[in-house]
Amino acid sequence: MAVINFHLLRGDDAYSTAQTVKKLTQSLDADFDAAMNSSRLDGKTVSFEDLQMAVTTLPFFGLNRLVVVDSALAKIDKSKQEKFLKLLDSAPESTHLILLVEDHRKWRRDANGSWMQTWETLSPSHWLVKWIEAHENAEIIDLSLPEEKNMDAWVNAEAKRQGGAFDPEAARELAQHTGNDTGIASQEIAKLLTYVDFKRPVNQTDVLECVSVEGSADVFVMLDELVDGKTKQAQSLMRRLLEETPPEAVLGAVIHRFRQLIQVREALDAREDLKMLVDRKVIFSNQIAKYTSAARRFSMPQLEGIFKRLLEMDVQAKTSQVELETNLEMLVLELG
**Domain membership of residue 121 as a residue range:** 6-142
The pLDDT assigned to 88 comes to 93
Going by C-alpha positions, the residue among 171, 164, 169 that lies closest to residue 193 is 164
Cα–Cα distance measured from residue 210 to residue 204, given in angstroms and rounded to the nearest whole number: 10
Cα–Cα distance measured from residue 192 to residue 164, given in angstroms and rounded to the nearest whole number: 10
Question: Domain of 317: which CATH number?
Answer: 1.20.272.10
Whether residues 103 and 196 fall in one domain: no
Cα–Cα distance measured from residue 334 to residue 336, given in angstroms and rounded to the nearest whole number: 6
Whether residues 12 and 122 fall in one domain: yes
Residue 35 maps to a domain:
yes
Whether residues 10 and 121 fall in one domain: yes
Whether residues 311 and 178 fall in one domain: yes
Cα–Cα distance measured from residue 186 to residue 307, given in angstroms and rounded to the nearest whole number: 17
Whether residues 16 and 101 fall in one domain: yes
Whether residues 196 and 169 fall in one domain: yes
pTM of the model: 0.63
Q: Choose the final residue of a domain: 113, 142, 171.
A: 142
| 95 vs 214, residue with greater confidence | 95
pLDDT (tens digit, 9 = 90+) per residue, 139-187? Answer: 999 999 898 888 999 999 999 999 999 999 999 988 877 878 888 888 8
* Total domains present in the chain: 2
Q: Are 122 and 108 in contact (CB under 8 A)?
A: no
The pLDDT assigned to 87 comes to 93
Residue 1 maps to a domain:
no
Beta strands 38-42; 105-109: pairing state: unpaired
